[in-house]
């Protein structure tokens, strides 16, 4: 290869990461909306959703539940405009969630790890603040901590995505109208290092505090809402279905419907972000039961949103992901369909299943427990190998793998039985799906950058 040509190409590629999104938008063919403006916008993000995740959730839904997934049904019924999206950040072709959300939220590609902050300290005004200034109500709903990178990217500026205690305070200053997710440790004075009582601060600003699914049924009209339903993230959907202590946690669809009911009817409209955050965490763990069931939980939220948007007629819905993760998929082989369908026998996530094992378990204890949880029968060598992770002989690293559990090793055991493979345990740079419904959806081009969605929202609302 000609080295000079290669270096020139590399420079051009690098430059593509730093061009102004506004200038990129302006160089494209401008499509004006022939219809009305979007009064409301609901932006839905299945965090870390590779195309294989979307595919497997739809396959599982058709094979096991007897119906197509709501997202894919929108394609089948030709109800949406569809695009592929480049998800790169300013610092890498593979983004993290902070930079990805900042691309949507601030309209500028920033470096991984920061929220709407440039390399020289520039502060890019987040999109929900723009809409609040225009008189709309604004909110965020997620299955991880409400202060996590994806909701925060639509709302605040921060040099550190992990500054979640501070982000909780920033939300209070912004007086966002609806906030729902996990993260009690960032609001509860008993758990914060500085002992600040943020629940009291929010109550003083007129918020109603929600703590469980029953509270969603007793929301007071007109009140701002802070719903914090767990320490840390919310439980995975499949564990919520089968583990008694998790049953009082609301689903993403529950929270989404409650948020819409609280925001709708406002004279100037509303904007709402809905995130299936634990889809990403499941991919990081190569946890197929967690992944599919949380994607299906996101899919139920899609139905709730589209049902509202169809009735309302004034709502733009954007459905996408911020990046791929682990690129899972079904693998060709004998009995692939039967193997894949065996995932319907799984009662728990790998996280719950592996957390329940202790170093004093016998080989029989392990084989019995794995069979109860997954209907997989380990042989004695596999059981002894699994036990070695609990005796300090082996350990695994990985994001969100705080206890060094053997997520990767066990996913390889599962692959023999369910025909699902993974390329990694981390984010990927592949292009991702975008679907848009309602007024403004005609602005969506077939191939876009993540920053383009920021300007699409502003244009659709004529802000």
pLDDT tens profile 133-191: 999 999 999 999 999 999 999 999 999 999 999 999 999 999 999 999 999 999 999 99
Residue 399: how many other CB atoms lie within 10 Å = 14
Q: Compute the half-sphere exposure of residue 348: CA atoms within 13 Å on the CB side of its CA.
A: 18
pLDDT at 3 over 50: no
Q: What is the pLDDT, as a whole number, of residue 7?
A: 38
Q: Return the H-helix or E-strand segment holding 317.
A: strand 315-320
Reduced to 3 states (helix: H, G, I; strand: E, B; else coil), residue 152 is helix
Residue matched to tokens 């409650």:
258
Reduced to 3 states (helix: H, G, I; strand: E, B; else coil), residue 34 is coil
Q: What is the pLDDT, as a whole number, of residue 399?
A: 63
Residue 170: how many other CB atoms lie within 10 Å = 17
Q: Do the Cβ atoms of 433 and 51 come closer than 8 Å? A: yes
In the chain the domains, ranked by start, together with CATH numbers, are: 22-328+426-460 (3.40.720.10), 339-421 (no CATH)
The pairing of beta strand 40-46 with beta strand 447-449: unpaired
pLDDT tens-digit map of 311-320: 999 999 999 9
């Amino acid at each position: 290869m000609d080295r000079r040509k290669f270096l020139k190409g590399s420079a051009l590629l690098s430059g593509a990461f730093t061009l102004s999104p506004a200038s990129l938008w302006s160089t494209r063919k401008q499509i004006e909306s022939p219809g009305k403006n979007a009064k409301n916008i609901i932006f839905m993000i299945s965090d870390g959703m590779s195309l294989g995740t979307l595919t497997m959730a739809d396959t599982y839904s058709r094979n096991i539940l007897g119906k197509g997934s709501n997202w894919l049904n929108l394609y089948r019924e030709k109800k949406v405009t569809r695009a592929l999206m480049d998800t790169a950040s300013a610092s890498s072709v593979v983004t993290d969630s902070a930079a990805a959300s900042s691309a949507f939220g601030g309209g500028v590609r920033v470096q991984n790890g920061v929220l709407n902050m440039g390399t020289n300290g520039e502060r890019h005004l987040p999109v929900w603040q723009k809409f609040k200034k225009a008189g709309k109500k604004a909110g965020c709903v997620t299955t991880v901590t409400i202060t996590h990178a994806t909701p925060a990217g639509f709302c605040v500026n921060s040099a550190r995505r992990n500054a979640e205690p501070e982000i909780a305070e920033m939300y209070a200053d912004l007086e966002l109208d609806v906030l729902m997710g996990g993260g009690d440790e960032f609001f509860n004075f008993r758990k914060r290092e500085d002992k600040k009582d943020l629940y009291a601060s929010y109550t003083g600003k007129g918020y109603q505090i929600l703590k469980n699914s029953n509270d969603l049924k007793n929301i007071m009209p007109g009140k701002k809402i802070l719903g914090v339903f767990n320490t840390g993230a919310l439980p995975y959907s499949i564990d919520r279905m089968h583990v008694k202590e998790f049953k009082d946690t609301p689903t993403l669809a529950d929270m989404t419907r409650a948020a819409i009911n609280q925001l709708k009817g406002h004279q100037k409209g509303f904007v709402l972000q809905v995130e299936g955050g634990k889809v990403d965490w499941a991919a990081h763990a190569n946890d197929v039961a967690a992944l599919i069931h949380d994607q299906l939980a996101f899919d139920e939220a899609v139905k709730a949103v589209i049902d509202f948007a169809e009735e309302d007629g004034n709502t733009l819905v954007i459905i996408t992901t911020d990046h791929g993760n682990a690129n899972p998929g079904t693998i060709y082989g004998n009995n692939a369909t039967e193997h894949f369908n065996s995932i319907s026998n799984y009662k728990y996530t790998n996280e719950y299943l592996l957390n329940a094992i202790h170093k004093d378990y016998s080989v029989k204890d392990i084989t019995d427990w794995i069979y109860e949880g997954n209907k997989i029968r380990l042989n004695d060598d596999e059981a002894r190998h699994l036990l070695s992770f609990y005796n300090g002989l082996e350990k695994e690293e990985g994001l969100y793998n705080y206890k060094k559990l053997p997520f990767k090793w066990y996913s390889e055991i599962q692959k023999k039985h369910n025909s699902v493979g993974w390329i990694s345990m981390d984010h990927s740079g592949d292009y991702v799906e975008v679907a848009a419904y309602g007024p403004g959806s005609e602005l969506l081009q077939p191939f876009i950058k993540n920053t383009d969605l920021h300007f699409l929202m502003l244009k659709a609302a004529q802000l």
